[in-house]
Amino acid sequence: MSTATRDSGVVQVRGEVIAIRRAGAYHHLTIVAPGVAELARPGQFAALAVGGPTTGNLLRRSFSIHKVSPSGTYGGTLDLVIAAKGAGTEWLTALRAHDTVDVVAPLGRPFPLPTEAVPTVLVGGGYGSAPLFWLADVLRERGCTVEMVLGAASEDRLFGVVEARRAADRVTVTTDDGSAGQRGWVSDVLPEVFRRTGAPVAYACGPMGMLQSVTRVAAEHGAVAQVAVEESMACGVGVCMTCVMPVRGKDGVTAMVRSCVEGPVFRGDRIRWEAFHDGVCGVPEDAVGAPKVGGH
């Protein structure tokens, strides 16, 4: 069953899980979700309902689209990589083949692609690498070279190292504990990668701290970072206003914008990183409609 479309670029479908397998610390789900593949582009995400029709967990859970395939024996499919963390992701990762799950996708803005064949750097932190392989394929189709940097706390939290070797021209791996690749953070190896490739653009997905450092290192090397952010989302479709963050527009004016609609991909240098502190984000004083003293 598939509803909506109305030429709206998004579908709501009752998806059927056809495969679920472990990938290190994560679960990789393949879901039959007709209509999604034709619309989706790398960087967009899917919002899944969890717990079944009578669940007390009402809010949708958002996941980057790992890949899509338009046809096949089962109809179009959607692949997601999920880390079990709380009630919703526990439920999703406990699904079995032929279980159903309500999917709304694709959502948000995709990674903008370069108009010319340029060298590119793709950086993934933990499950944040999930959308990058598909992106790499699209970039290479356009003649771009792709260098990937994958980082995580430990080896089991890396996702797709083998796939990276296929999808990218060169791969560097880092782990905080040194259990795979180089010990340290992606930001330790990035300066060398930018120097070597001369890439004018970097694409990144992962924890906010990592996105901030990718943005900084990219700027130091004259490159633009396009980062896919993660903020708590209740609806994923733009109606609740929970997912906002302070982002500077083209006009230089900062506004609290919805990351599910105007993101999740933003130019890194437009995000007001200084407003984020340990999981809490404030409203910069110069943001549109910021509280005045004695105001809200």
Partner 1 sequence: MAVDLSVTLSGRTLPNPVMTASGCAANGRELHRFFDVSTLGAFVTKTVMMDPRSGRGTPRMAETSSGMLNSIGLQGPGIHAFVAKDLPWLKSVGARVLVSIAGNTAGEFADVAKVLVDSDAFDCVVGVEVNISCPNVANRGLVFACDPLASGKVIALVREQLPRDVPMFAKLTPDVTDIVSIADAAVKSGATGLTMINTLLGMVIDTDRLRPQLGGITGGLSGPSIRPVAVRALWQVTAAMREGRFLTVPLIGVGGVRTGRDALELIAAGATAVQVGTATFNDPTAPQRVLTELEALAESHGVARISELVAVAHDRMVIP
Ligand X SMILES: Cc1cc2nc3c(=O)[nH]c(=O)nc-3n(C[C@H](O)[C@H](O)[C@H](O)COP(=O)(O)OP(=O)(O)OC[C@H]3O[C@@H](n4cnc5c(N)ncnc54)[C@H](O)[C@@H]3O)c2cc1C
Within 10 angstroms of residue 265's Cβ, the number of other Cβ atoms is 24
The reply to whether 255 sits near partner 1 by the rule CB under 8 A is yes
Taking CB under 6 A as the binding criterion, the range among 10-18, 56-64, 134-142, 213-221 that sits at the site for ligand X is 56-64
Q: Which helix (H) or strand (E) holds 280?
A: strand 280-281
The reply to whether 203 sits near ligand X by the rule CB under 6 A is no
The reply to whether 241 sits near partner 1 by the rule CB under 8 A is yes
The reply to whether 222 sits near partner 1 by the rule CB under 8 A is no
The reply to whether 296 sits near partner 1 by the rule CB under 8 A is yes
Among 30, 62, 172, 174, binds ligand X (CB under 6 A): 62
- The Cα 284–Cα 281 span in angstroms is 9
Taking CB under 6 A as the binding criterion, the range among 148-156, 187-195, 237-245, 274-282 that sits at the site for ligand FES is 237-245
For partner 1, the binding residues in 2-61 under the rule CB under 8 A are: 3-4, 6, 8-10, 12, 49, 56-60
For ligand X, the binding residues in 99-138 under the rule CB under 6 A are: 127, 130
- Output the smallest distance, CB 47 to ligand FES, in A: 8
Q: Which helix (H) or strand (E) holds 203?
A: strand 201-205
- 147, 121 contact by CB (below 8 A): yes
The reply to whether 159 sits near ligand X by the rule CB under 6 A is no
Residue with tokens 């396009």: 226
List of E strands, the chain = 2-4, 11-23, 26-32, 45-48, 61-64, 67-69, 77-82, 100-107, 119-125, 145-152, 170-175, 182-183, 201-205, 224-228, 244-248, 254-258, 265-267, 276-277, 280-281
| CB of 78 or CB of 260, closer to ligand FES | 260
Among 181, 236, 246, 264, binds ligand FES (CB under 6 A): 236
174 CB contacts (<8 Å, ≥6 apart)?
Answer: 149, 150, 151, 152, 181, 182, 183, 184, 185, 186, 188, 189
Bond preceding residue 106 cis, omega within 30 of 0: yes
Contacts with ligand FES, residue ranges (CB under 6 A): 233-236, 238-243, 258, 260
- Contact positions toward partner 1, by CB under 8 A? 3-4, 6, 8-10, 12, 49, 56-60, 102, 104, 231-232, 234-235, 237-245, 255-256, 261, 275, 279-283, 287-291, 294-296
Task: Name the site residues for ligand X (rule: CB under 6 A).
Answer: 45, 59, 61-64, 81-83, 85-89, 127, 130, 230-234, 264
